[in-house]
Amino acid sequence: MRRPPPNRTGRAALKTTPGFPEALDRFRVAIRLTYVGVLFLATLSWFDIDGDPASVARRLGRALDPNVSARDAIDGARNVLLFAGWGLVWMVTAAPGRSVVILRNAVLTGAGLSLTVEGLQLFSTSRTASVLDLVTNTVGALLGAVLLVVLVTGLAARRGEKSFMGIPASVFGVSSALALMGEALVPLYRQELQAWASGGPLERLSRGMSEFRWGSIGEWPIGDGLLFLPGGFFAVAALAEIGVGYRRAAAWVGAGGVLMFASVEVAHGALGIEVLGGAALVHAVAFGAGAVLAIRSLPAFTMAYRGAGRPRLLLGLYAPWLLLWGLRPYAPETTLGGILTKFGGEWWIPLRFLGGRFDMFSVVDVIVAFFLFLPLGALLAVWPLRRHGALGTILPAVYFATLVELSQTLVATRTLDITDVLVQIAGAAIGWTIVRRAGFRPYGEQLP
């Protein structure tokens, strides 16, 4: 394993923001204004103006005394996610200073933006203002800011320890596990609400388990196998780096995978989605197989590859894995007309498609895309393809995110959505930034 140079404490790294790029500093205002535009697009689109004082007063009363429903829970989760992005953006673009002050400003500006949005929605017949939205938006800004602090502090504390790639393998392990949990919770092609999907979450869970078909254990989504296998591999690598033996790490990962994916599959009942035993089986087995693969290959990998050879091989395997996510369900689009049709419509408007959905998929889809690309940006922070130019910083991740999205025009039932590209780029940018803020420096270029 590669041993990077010693590091200062995580607290110091947060204060001095080492590796803070001058370009990011120079475009701080532009980046923040761009995200403000995203917030307004998501919360103020389809805005029908109505400034009648009586109507505004009636909407204000409704906003201060909202009715809570299951739909509000989904809306609240989306609000938290959307404004968590603001908290992350504020922290990432903040100038060096005390982290507590920067975090406070992230929350206050998030609350101010939320108050502005909710105030404007009082003048619309097509939008609904709510004090609950103000609360969830502010909480989201807080969580996003805190997440950035936790990630940078955690990575800074690990700098100087042994690692396979010069950055903790937990970046890959945790990110891939979160992405896989999201996909297992709300599968891309298994979101249909069942006839029994009514009532509260506990009532739906009870009905879902009573409707469970034992024959579903034999229904295997084989295509998921290649998606879930790398997660077990990365989990073992993360544990091995902190001193856990390979076999013990694989045993822990295998047992954890069974528990995790069985629990997530059962949770489908609470969402009103059919519970399939075969899906949980494939996910757990593939995750465990990845752990076994790590036992057999990681020791040899550390001996056979040194320097830039390691990240080059990892990138050569990680990029096709990301492409597999975009090519699901692996059914080709067979006509040129079908491919060209996908370039029509409003795919280029951010949040256009997800904004019209009020289900868990609209939340989970963003989380999955973000965490799939975060490790890619983190890897490029210490092993860039090139230090400068068209292949510098996170630009390769930008190109690849675009390629993954365009590849979906070749897949039947898939469509283009610029939101996916933006979320993936954001994930890579956050991964790159937290690694550099934690004090890591590039070791060298991947390209010979």
Distance CA 211, CA 319 (A): 39
Cα separation values, 275 from 135, 256, 344, Å:
33, 20, 36
Q: Is residue 79 part of a domain?
A: yes
Answer yes or no: do 82 and 33 share one domain.
yes
What pLDDT shows up at residue 24? 65
Answer yes or no: do 126 and 194 share one domain.
no
Distance CA 96, CA 18 (A): 9
Count of structural domains within the chain? 3
Answer yes or no: do 188 and 299 share one domain.
yes
Q: Is residue 5 part of a domain?
A: no
What pLDDT shows up at residue 94? 87
What pLDDT shows up at residue 2? 45
Q: Is residue 173 part of a domain?
A: yes
Domain boundary among 137, 158, 179: 158
Distance CA 232, CA 286 (A): 8
Answer yes or no: do 268 and 319 share one domain.
no
Answer yes or no: do 349 and 447 share one domain.
yes
Q: Name the DSSP letter for residue 1.
A: -
pLDDT 10s per residue in the chain (448 long)? 544 444 444 343 444 444 445 556 678 899 999 999 989 888 887 778 888 999 999 999 999 988 777 677 788 888 999 999 999 999 988 877 777 889 999 999 999 999 999 999 999 988 889 999 999 999 999 999 999 999 999 999 999 898 999 999 999 999 999 999 999 999 988 888 888 888 888 898 999 999 999 999 999 999 999 999 999 999 999 999 999 999 999 999 999 999 999 999 999 999 899 999 999 999 999 999 999 999 999 999 999 998 999 999 999 999 999 999 999 999 999 999 999 999 988 888 887 777 666 678 888 999 999 999 999 999 999 999 999 999 999 999 999 999 999 999 999 999 999 999 999 999 999 999 999 999 999 999 999 8
Q: Is residue 282 part of a domain?
A: yes
Domain boundary among 106, 125, 158: 158
Q: Is residue 297 part of a domain?
A: yes
Domain of residue 44, residue span: 10-158
Answer yes or no: do 290 and 341 share one domain.
no
Q: Is residue 310 part of a domain?
A: no
What pLDDT shows up at residue 7? 42
Q: Is residue 2 part of a domain?
A: no
Answer yes or no: do 435 and 320 share one domain.
yes
Answer yes or no: do 149 and 17 share one domain.
yes
Domain boundary among 158, 184, 209: 158
Closest to 383 (Cα-Cα) out of 396, 372, 401, 370? 396
What pLDDT shows up at residue 43? 84
Closest to 233 (Cα-Cα) out of 335, 148, 313, 307? 313
Handedness of CA 393, 395, 396, 397 (dihedral sign): positive
Answer yes or no: do 169 and 153 share one domain.
no
Contact call for residues 18 and 437 (beta carbons, < 8 A): yes
Answer yes or no: do 264 and 341 share one domain.
no
Answer yes or no: do 145 and 189 share one domain.
no
What pLDDT shows up at residue 76? 87
Q: Is residue 375 part of a domain?
A: yes
Contact call for residues 115 and 100 (beta carbons, < 8 A): no
Rounded to the nearest angstrom, the gap between the alpha carbon of residue 187 and the centroid of all alpha carbons in its chain is: 15
Answer yes or no: do 16 and 154 share one domain.
yes
